[in-house]
Chain A
Amino acid sequence: MRLVLGDAVVWRRDREAGTCGARRRIGRRGIGGPLMGYFGGLVMRIPDLSPYVPGSDGPWDARTAAHLLYRAGFGASPSEIERAVSAGLEPTVDSFFSESPGEEEHFQRTFEDISASMANFGEPFVLRAWWIHRMVRTSVPLREKLALFWHGHFATSIGKVENTYLMHRQIETIRQLAWGNFRELVLAIARDPAMLVYLDGESNTKEHPNENFARELMELFTCGIGNYSEKDVAEAARAFTGWHREGSEFRFNPEAHDDDVKRILGRSGRFDGSDVVDILMQHAATPRFMARKLLRFFATAEPADSAVDSAAESLDRAQLHIKWFLRDLFLSKYFFSDECRGKRIASPVEFVVGAVRTLGVRIPAFELAERVAAMGQELLAPPNVKGWDGEQKWINSSTWPARVAFAEQIAGLFSDNPFGPHLDLPTLVPPDVTDPNAIVDRLAGLLMAAPLAADTRRDLSEFLITTDEGKRPDLFRDDPDFRADRTRAVLGMLLGLPEFHNC
């Protein structure tokens, strides 16, 4: 069935929509107020999201590239940074969206192999480890990063779902649709079996409508609180009646569906769930709500209202296509400005997977998943339907020691271990570098988003050459084992310093 719309509907293709094969309705009047920033074929330039021009706006160097790579992925290894610097900004951003041929097939095959004989994916800890493994090994980190974002957005917990297969399917769905059109993603989530269990869609019937999903769809997934009424929730719940599941598949149950007219956000019709999704996609509050959330995750913990306005306009212009929005963002002057640099706190997953990728550490994903949970981010089990609060809420007197302990663990791994956990120190700091300052600079350059304070740098250099008996620059210069040992200690220290958790 179709929407009953008072507005004239015009379809057209534009630059971005043409590229990605979607169509867009224009000429509409927004439900909660006029829609911003769209005038026919004219693509408006939003001052804040105007492009960053390397050279005139600032450098395109290792630190700038590292900022981009941290945000779009997990950490940044020296080779990734080097590649980005030599490729240039725009090609680097475009590369985030290009999949290596065969990678997905490779992961699928590995998953099946492991499932066939190595580990039981029915156990949540195995599935958690699998996801961490993908984050560590992927050549398209942005896709995993977005999957993590959506996992916190459409937060679903195995605690209630109690079925790892359904959780696995949901993660696959959000990964697959990660940077596509938001509408498609919301629709897929509305039909997702894990979500149908989690927010009681499976018990939503014409006789007994259950509002749980309809409410969260509005409050947390699309337009945000204050942009709908209680009546809208009740009516939307009716539209989703009969959206059930059979085992691990979505099934529409016509007997349980309420086919009568509903009135939602000022429109009426014999709406079903996909109509509700359409209505919410056209709600003027949706681009703003989503833009703020995306900015918080990718750009800055506290985006200014003006930045949210611009981002909302950009997202609206991109017709809620996440890829086009993120491309705009990653290329923008705003993204590289002081408003966004060093203005986030790394989530546990970003910290752990980032450290592992940056340093090229070999360590079982099972262990990483446990570490991440101890830091307050247990995958597949967000604390509630709102997901993780994030940012400053990540840090407390339980989770900070857990971060320091992980830093120590990583630094304690040895280079000469042919088997098991392993850290290849000589590739990070070549053994022939014997100057303590050079070693500190090298490690800090590898790990820190901003240069170290002068006194911190001095303290660390001194620490490198100090033994229980006092300073021994000679020993440091002449004994490679001592040097490696001290270097490792400084590495652990850097990983556990507040500066490394600010990104």
Chain B
Amino acid sequence: MFTRRDFMGCTLGGLSCLSLKGVVPALFARSADEARAADMNDHVLVVVELAGGNDGLNTVIPFENPLYYKNRPTLGIPAGEAIKLNDQVGLHPRMGPLAELFKEGKVNVVQGVGYPEADRSHFRSMEIWHTASTDTRPPTSGWLGKFLDAGSPAGVDEAAPRGLALTGVLPQAFQAEKTVVPVVAQLDQLVDVEDGAAALGKLRRKLSTAPGGEGEVGFLRRQADLVYRTAERLREAAAKYESEAQYPEGELGPQLRRAAQIIAADMGVRVLFASQGGYDTHANQAGTHGELLEQLAASLAAFQDDLESHTRADRVLVVTFSEFGRRVDENGSQGTDHGAGSFLFLTGSKVKGGLSGEYPSLEKLGDGDLIHTVDFRSVYATVLERWLGCPAEELLGQKFAPLDVL
């Protein structure tokens, strides 16, 4: 759990009490900051990566804009099919469950998100999003890793991880100096191995975690012990969890279901990271993309439903992102190539529902791509300051104006 001491770590060097700054003495400013952070210290952030570059134009459809249909002769979604969010834009027709959440005021659609001098390489653009830095020599730590490091408390139970990856491998966003972020799938694998042969598992644990040991063996045993204890907690969380929520099959649904188990178990996890791949739709996009968006919408809705039934919904915020959007005009293979600027969703009970940011122009393009209207780090700054209670400027290296979405 987040303690007072954590928060001190988090604010170190950055006394950023927004409205009070300069009016009241620094001491009070800090207290106000602390109070705000204390209110947030049970908040959980779930980041959902849409890997491959999601076609934002066909996700949040500008159905009144003739340029959209001109650029998308075969892929354009007809105005009558888009699920209208207002009189200008609508969601992809297979995103019904998300549209329902939107109606309930639990979704904010951030339009035109990107960064300057967009890079069309998956690797590079992902690196920029994960590190929150456009420097050519980006920091080793990811933005979420920095958050966890900043609040990394001394003397807490190390087996209570504050970040967890639901993906197959550790995402770059979770790279950190001090904090170890376990990959849930790998801990599960260990549990599976042991479950397959109970006596073997028991003995392995005994021998792997015995106190003492020559050379580096002692270190390795302490690490192994930590792994077992963490795995155990996840297993307990899964055992306690019961749910009626209907998650779709596919990559994302099971990850979010696992996230709900972990959140319901109140283990002190602050950040979870899930990923859905397949958005790199260079050819025959329509079917694939629709399928992915359907899974996305159904997974997010099931997750919200699940959290509500476990009375955790007020504490959880979901943010989606993708490394880039796609080229405005479709290619010759009924697909789209790598572009820039896209859209992201914030979902959760505490989200201010609606649309934010400005829909990017289809007239004025940058090298055939949308020009972003919102820097993605404004979204990060919002999440850090208004959801996780961590001063963003220091972490992001510069000031980004927060959005009015929380």
Contacts and interface: CB of A to CB of B under 8 A. Distances in A.
Chains A and B form a bound pair:
yes
Interface of A: 159-160, 162, 200, 212, 301, 341-345, 373-374, 383-386, 391-392, 395-402, 404-405, 408, 450, 456, 459-460, 463, 466, 468, 489, 492-493, 496-499, 501-502
8 contacts: A343-B215, A344-B216, A385-B137, A392-B219, A450-B214, A463-B200, A466-B199, A498-B220
B327 to A, nearest CB: 19
Contacts of B200: 463, 489, 492-493
Interface string B183-216: 1001101100100010110011011101001111
Nearest to A200: B136
A-B complex: 8 closest residue pairs judged by Cβ atoms: A498-B220, A342-B215, A397-B182, A401-B190, A398-B183, A401-B186, A159-B123, A502-B216
A373 B183 CA distance: 14
A459 B230 CA distance: 25
A120 B223 CA distance: 39
A501 B230 contact: no
A408 B170 CA distance: 22
Q: Does more than half of chain B's interface fall in helix, strand or loop, or is it mixed?
A: helix
Contacts of B231: 401
Contacts of A489: 197, 200
B217 A499 contact: yes
Interface in B269-316: none
B175 interface: yes
B227 A401 contact: yes
B406 interface: no
B224 interface: yes
A498 B187 contact: no
A400 B203 contact: no
B207 A493 contact: yes
Contacts of A392: 216, 219
A397 B161 contact: yes
Contacts of A463: 199-200, 203
B221 interface: yes
Nearest to A157: B123
Nearest to B158: A397
Interface string B312-352: 00000000000000000000000000000000000000000
Contact of B224 (A212, A384, A400, A459): A400
Contacts of A383: 140, 175
A73 B219 CA distance: 24
A17 B46 CA distance: 61
B8 interface: no
Nearest to B198: A468
Nearest to A400: B227
B140 A405 contact: no
Contacts of B121: 162
B215 A397 contact: no
B169 interface: yes
Given A397-B223, A397-B227, A492-B200, 14 more contacts: A159-B124, A200-B136, A373-B169, A386-B140, A392-B219, A395-B223, A396-B182, A397-B186, A398-B170, A398-B182, A404-B204, A493-B204, A493-B207, A498-B217
B237 interface: no
Contacts of B197: 489
A386 to B, nearest CB: 8
B123 A405 contact: no
Interface in B122-166: 123-124, 127, 136-137, 140, 161, 165
Nearest to A486: B200
Given A383-B175, A396-B223, A496 B208 contact: yes
